[in-house]
Structure 1
Amino acid sequence: MKAGMNVKIELTNNGIKRIRQGNPLIQIEDLKQNIKKIPLEWVTFVDGNDKYVASGYLGKQNKGMGWVLDRTQRPIDRAFFIEAFKQAIQRRQAFFADGTTTAFRLFNGEGDGIGGLTIDYYHDYLVLSWYNQTIYHFQQEILDSLLVAFPTAKGVVEKIRFTSDLRESQWLMGEKPQEPLLVLENGVSYAVYLDEGYMTGIFLDQKEVRGRLTEGLAAGKKVLNMFSYTGAFSVAAAYGGAVETTSVDLAQRSLPKTQEQFAVNGLPLEQQKIIVMDTFDYFRYAMRKNLRYDVIILDPPSFARNKKKTFSVAKDYGRLIEDSVEILSDEGMIIASTNAANLSIKKFKQAIEQALNNKQATYHLVESYRLPADFPASHFEESNYLKVLFYEIKK
């Protein structure tokens, strides 16, 4: 056994069974012993007879207690990482070849074989996100391996997505781009800031949904984009011929950020409304003013809290749908999206359709999207977290 792989962790039979079925996530109940202090090193997972099951690590993050990285007893070292990165890059050759898109996910954690780490590509710059302390402990080895596999990176920034005293975002190597850095997606420009906290200005997993808007799904229509963040859906809709967009978000920064996204595409601001307001307050305002929209996009955070109340997808999505129906045109569309990993597609669909039934609306599910090809998921449901459903609705 190679140095650094001498920590053995015994797993329960159930845990072993799940790993053998291809699930790389280690849960606390899969561990035979109570772990007082998480080892900051690679570990060997064994069965009750001390027999090898898998190699990986323990690391606390929002999902689970650690990850399996290998089941063949090969050492987890620089060569291991270089190969994993090269394979991920190879799988994304179609994205590199597409001149209309210059931002996508280069390495998707467990879907590409290494849970706890994601890497996004923004026009020759890389954004690394670390999801637990243990994988971050190997930061230098992983960074060195990445630069062997991807030597053309102009710069690398990291995001610390676990509780720590470290700065949440910091530049690791290379030059900082002039900001905003403009990236393309489906031919549309988006202004991104790679070193402004966790968010860059665009959620790359929604590229196919924005692509449908860019192609003209909302051409000639009035679009309402709720929880709009930097207005990316609104920009895609306007680019695809929407006659008017309204973007609503509670964050003050959403106003200048959204204006900037329209500006970098040369889209006139006269037809775009950008409103800083709580979503539910805006629904009430729109009802009072008798406003109507042909397409309503709902993409809330899984959980949000403002001064007055909390919002959780599992509990409150139905209300969003009911309020949307009230201000939808007689024949309209709701694009319902969630990235809540703990809500199954079945439950999500039920919540939406229950709300539509409550409003006695006639509806038809016309399209649905999960994670795009650059976000490969692993063999457990929470890994494929994105769910986007397009409903045509008649009132």
Structure 2
Amino acid sequence: MAKLPHIQLPNTLKERLVQGHPWVYRNHVPAQMHFPSGTWVRAQCGNWTGYGLWDANGPIAIRIFSEQQLPTPQWLREQVGSAWDLRLSLREKGCTAYRWLFGEGDGLPGLTVDLYGQFAVIQTYMEGATALQDWLIDALKATTSLQGIYLRTQHRNRESIDNKPEPKTGHKPEPKTENQAESKVELLWGKPAPTDLVVIEHGLNFQVNLQAGQKTGLFLDHRENRRFIEGLSQDRDVLNCFAYTGAFSLYALRGKARQVTSVDIGKGLAEAASTNIALNQLDSQRHTFVTQDCFNLLNSYVEQGRRFDLLILDPPSFAKSKQNRHAAQRAYTKLNALALRCVAPGGLLATASCTSQISTEAFKEAIAAAGASAGRRFQIIHEAGQPVDHPVPAQFPEGRYLKFVVGRVR
């Protein structure tokens, strides 16, 4: 085998590398270093050694995969198997859709795998991921029975994980801008999934489309938060903003909400929500879908004096880089202030952020500022981060992107 390129890193990085942080930024590697994306390299920092994949573009030059050995197909199979074992509790609960691999959280930086029934969707966040593609396909097939494996690629020059790489990272993406690449979906192995594929989440059926849609039509990281909302919904008028295909609304309906209003500006989402409601034989008479911008609708509700007993905010990420952090903080404050004015006295606000650039404490500061602006007080009764299929390594706080806060409005 050809000798691996050797890269000497500054000693200032040693502490975090020893702890297991998986990223080496481009400004920390020698300027004269240039390799094709997907090249395995050996990085050294003092007496620390790590093996990683080089990326020719973007702020992250090296993603570290192992400190013991150069990764092999068997090594990768073990990582996939370990992640599979961690999700056992979800399978025991009958959930057939979840994130099987969460990139850095499962020791495989730069890529994720979502499972929808017997179909897996690989998503990559670095050009060098192609070096692992064949190994990964074999590892997935060796772990469980699959009918098809898809690849969704979307490379961006980003400074942090946003998983809704999830997304995020991390989660619902912002409207496309010129610097955001179109995602591309292709079938790598097996047969195509049906366009009306149905998966199960805590006993509810959801139709997903693996070839189209943002996150296939189901945002997996909010699974447990949706179930929490179900327990709060009985006899309440519920407003679900940024509803997408209505997942939170379905749980509220099953939780015996008096009336549920879903709001999203996206085309075709009202029909998708109606399909999901029909799949579960829920009462469509208690549900209304409004296709409109959520900020504009909340403004109109404030002017009308319309109030809800439970309001859910699950907006897209407001910042993709550190430069947008302050603008995102202001956006969260503005949005939550509008929402607080639309909650009946003693009602509940459930508000979320999938912006990795905003910390948990900063998000709560935005809610507090929103309360001051709206003349309301917000009593936190519940906080949550990411579920078991989105693990966050202690040495990689960047992997913590999701914040979900529920409180009483006074």
TM-score by length of 1: 0.90
1:288 counterpart letter in structure 2: E
Q: Which residue of 1 aligns with 2:20?
A: 22
Q: CA RMSD in A?
A: 2.3
What does residue range 1-395 of structure 1 map to in structure 2 within 5 Å? Answer: 3=1, 6-47=4-45, 53-59=49-55, 64-72=60-68, 74-99=69-94, 101-150=95-144, 152-162=145-155, 168-214=184-230, 216-303=231-318, 313-378=328-393, 379-394=395-410
Alpha-carbon spacing, 1:284–1:313, altered in 2? closer, same or farther (3 Å): same
- The alpha-carbon deviation at position 86 of structure 1 amounts to 1.1
Q: Which residue of 1 aligns with 2:172?
A: none
- The alpha-carbon deviation at position 236 of structure 1 amounts to 1.1
In 2, Cα distance between the equivalents of 1:17 and 1:5? 27
Q: Deviations over 1:12-64 (max 9, x none)?
A: 1122221112211222233243544444221100136xx65211112268773
Alpha-carbon spacing, 1:124–1:62, altered in 2? closer, same or farther (3 Å): farther
1:113 counterpart letter in structure 2: G
In 2, Cα distance between the equivalents of 1:335 and 1:173? 40
Higher relative contact order, structure no. (Cα contacts within 8 Å, ≥ 6 residues apart): 2
Alpha-carbon spacing, 1:253–1:303, altered in 2? closer, same or farther (3 Å): farther
Alpha-carbon spacing, 1:346–1:165, altered in 2? closer, same or farther (3 Å): closer
- The alpha-carbon deviation at position 383 of structure 1 amounts to 0.3
- The alpha-carbon deviation at position 103 of structure 1 amounts to 1.0
In 1, Cα distance between the equivalents of 2:155 and 2:120? 19
1:15 counterpart letter in structure 2: L
Where do 5+ consecutive residues of structure 1 fail to align? Answer: 306-310
Q: Which residue of 2 aligns with 1:308?
A: none
Alpha-carbon spacing, 1:212–1:62, altered in 2? closer, same or farther (3 Å): farther
1:11 counterpart letter in structure 2: L
Alpha-carbon spacing, 1:82–1:212, altered in 2? closer, same or farther (3 Å): same
Q: Determine if contact 2:155/2:181 at 8 Å carries over to the other structure.
A: no
Mean alpha-carbon deviation: is it higher for 247-256 or for 190-199?
Answer: 190-199
Q: Determine if contact 2:385/2:403 at 8 Å carries over to the other structure.
A: yes
In 2, Cα distance between the equivalents of 1:166 and 1:273? 31
Q: Deviations over 1:326-383 (max 9, x none)?
A: 2111111111101111111111111111111232322211000101011111222220
- The alpha-carbon deviation at position 197 of structure 1 amounts to 4.9
Q: State the number of aligned residues.
A: 381
In 2, Cα distance between the equivalents of 1:136 and 1:279? 39
Alpha-carbon spacing, 1:304–1:247, altered in 2? closer, same or farther (3 Å): farther
In 2, Cα distance between the equivalents of 1:190 and 1:81? 31
In 2, Cα distance between the equivalents of 1:142 and 1:39? 17
SS in 1 for 2:378: strand
Q: Determine if contact 1:202/1:232 at 8 Å carries over to the other structure.
A: yes
Q: Determine if contact 1:249/1:278 at 8 Å carries over to the other structure.
A: yes
Alpha-carbon spacing, 1:199–1:291, altered in 2? closer, same or farther (3 Å): same
- The alpha-carbon deviation at position 175 of structure 1 amounts to 2.3
Alpha-carbon spacing, 1:19–1:293, altered in 2? closer, same or farther (3 Å): same
In 2, Cα distance between the equivalents of 1:226 and 1:94? 30
Q: Determine if contact 1:300/1:313 at 8 Å carries over to the other structure.
A: no
Q: Deviations over 1:214-258 (max 9, x none)?
A: 3x2111101111111111111111111111111111112222122
SS in 2 for 1:66: strand
Identity percentage of aligned residues: 27
Q: Deviations over 1:146-184 (max 9, x none)?
A: 22233x112111110216999711112222233321111
In 1, Cα distance between the equivalents of 2:289 and 2:140? 40
In 2, Cα distance between the equivalents of 1:34 and 1:386? 37
1:106 counterpart letter in structure 2: W
In 2, Cα distance between the equivalents of 1:269 and 1:97? 30
Q: Determine if contact 1:159/1:198 at 8 Å carries over to the other structure.
A: no
Where do 5+ consecutive residues of structure 2 fail to align? Answer: 157-179, 321-325
Q: Determine if contact 2:310/2:347 at 8 Å carries over to the other structure.
A: yes
- The alpha-carbon deviation at position 286 of structure 1 amounts to 1.5
Alpha-carbon spacing, 1:166–1:227, altered in 2? closer, same or farther (3 Å): closer
Alpha-carbon spacing, 1:295–1:197, altered in 2? closer, same or farther (3 Å): closer
